[in-house]
């Protein structure tokens, strides 16, 4: 009996872990820039994200990629200059819209250095790409892609055409994705609070390391957002420690603002220091006082409601 030779050795492709988010993007446009930065930001927020690191091969989109879209709770479509030139990207788009219709998948379009009207109306580079597809492919298929582009571009998304700082924009988009996911998963508020806590800790460490005023302002902004989430939790809780936590966060913001004043103070010329310092102190203290009073008012109203009292 003839011996059977073993098949040639090969390295099996390890499937990616179960994910919440699928990224659809044109590799040659954004793989090593915007998309990689967004993927890193989502990873920092502990959001499991599917990113296809394979280069496009052949005409047909792989079944594993279609399944990855099907398994996602949210899909991000990064429309870039050459997105429509890729048959794979257009097929992904059609599948994503199908999942939105059938499974309620959340869709987040991002218009990266491309005008949303070019995508919606299929003009500019999108018109040229579709015209090229029509020369080589079935016109009904191309028409499906046209309609898909129009439909996806009508959803609310992110416009990256402006002069906004890209790193800040990526962080905002990542936080928006986190909040959208939390609306459809249990324990969403607690998860957001934990994420913002971790974010604040990272920004605190960066601020202490660099001594940069811009880093401190980012930290203060994050703490304000964290305080709002903690306030939301406190209004739903019977635990007084939750209210203490909210007030403690505002006290931390106050401390940081005082530190911010001192840093700015010593950067000013001597003759305008005192006047400028008094003005900024009064303004920021009023803001913090109003925020603290707002928290205490909500706490008091909640207590009165439970006791059967009505506020005047």
pLDDT tens figures, 140-165: 999 999 999 999 999 999 998 766 78
For residues 12 and 147, the answer to whether their CB atoms sit within 8 Å is no
Please name the helix (run of DSSP H) or strand (run of DSSP E) that holds residue 111, with its range, or none.
strand 106-111
Q: Of 232, 221, 226, 233, nearest to 248 (Cα)?
A: 226
Cβ-based neighbours of 168, under 8 Å, separated by 6 or more: none
Comparing 114 with 288, which gets the higher pLDDT? Answer: 114
User: Stretch 244-262: mean pLDDT, rounded?
Assistant: 78
Provide φ and ψ at 111, rounded to 5°: -105, 95
Pairing of strands 106-111, 158-159: parallel
- Distance from C-alpha of 112 to C-alpha of 10, rounded to nearest angstrom: 38
pLDDT digits (tens, 9 = 90+) for 23-69: 999 999 999 999 999 999 999 888 999 999 875 555 578 889 999 99
For residues 150 and 118, the answer to whether their CB atoms sit within 8 Å is no
For residue 202, what pLDDT is reported?
Answer: 86
User: Stretch 287-303: mean pLDDT, rounded?
Assistant: 66
Residue 287 has pLDDT above 50, yes or no: yes
Handedness of CA 86, 87, 93, 96 (dihedral sign): negative
By mean pLDDT, which of 9-23, 52-66, 84-98 is the weakest?
A: 9-23
For residue 302, what pLDDT is reported?
Answer: 62
Chain centre distance of CA 94: 23
Q: What is the DSSP string of 86-125?
A: -HHHHHHHHHHHHHHHHH--EEEEEE-SS-HHHHHTT-TH
For residue 37, what pLDDT is reported?
Answer: 95
Cβ-based neighbours of 108, under 8 Å, separated by 6 or more: 74, 75, 76, 77, 155, 157, 158, 173, 176, 177, 180
Average confidence score pLDDT of the chain: 81
For residue 187, what pLDDT is reported?
Answer: 66
Q: Of 216, 248, 211, 215, nearest to 231 (Cα)?
A: 248
Residues noted as catalytic: 92
């Amino acid at each position: 009996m003839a011996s059977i030779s073993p098949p040639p050795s090969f390295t099996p492709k390890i499937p990616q872990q179960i994910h919440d988010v699928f990224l659809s993007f044109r590799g040659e446009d954004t793989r090593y820039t915007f998309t990689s930065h967004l993927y890193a930001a989502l990873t920092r927020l502990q959001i499991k994200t599917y990113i296809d690191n394979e280069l496009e091969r052949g005409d047909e989109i792989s079944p594993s990629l279609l399944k990855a879209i099907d398994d996602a709770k949210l899909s991000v479509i990064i429309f870039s200059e050459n997105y429509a030139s890729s048959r794979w990207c257009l097929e992904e788009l059609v599948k994503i819209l199908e999942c939105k219709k059938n499974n309620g998948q959340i869709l987040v379009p991002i218009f990266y250095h491309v005008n949303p009207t070019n995508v919606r109306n299929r003009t500019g580079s999108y018109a040229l790409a579709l015209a090229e597809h029509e020369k080589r492919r079935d016109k009904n298929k191309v028409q499906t892609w046209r309609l898909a582009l129009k439909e996806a571009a009508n959803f609310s998304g992110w416009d990256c055409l402006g002069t906004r700082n890209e790193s800040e924009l990526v962080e905002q988009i990542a936080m928006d994705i986190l909040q959208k996911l939390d609306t459809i998963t249990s324990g969403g508020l607690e998860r957001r609070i934990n994420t913002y806590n971790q974010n604040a800790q990272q920004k605190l460490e960066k601020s202490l390391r660099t001594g940069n005023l811009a880093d401190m302002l980012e930290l203060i902004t994050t703490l304000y957002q964290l305080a709002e989430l903690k306030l939301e939790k406190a209004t739903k809780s019977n635990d007084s420690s939750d209210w203490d936590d909210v007030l403690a966060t505002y006290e931390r913001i106050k401390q940081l603002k005082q530190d911010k004043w001192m840093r700015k103070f010593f950067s000013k010329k001597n003759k305008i220091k005192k006047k400028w310092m008094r003005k900024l102190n009064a303004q920021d203290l009023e803001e913090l006082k109003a925020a603290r009073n707002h928290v205490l008012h909500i706490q008091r109203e909640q207590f009165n409601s439970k006791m059967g009292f009505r506020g005047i």
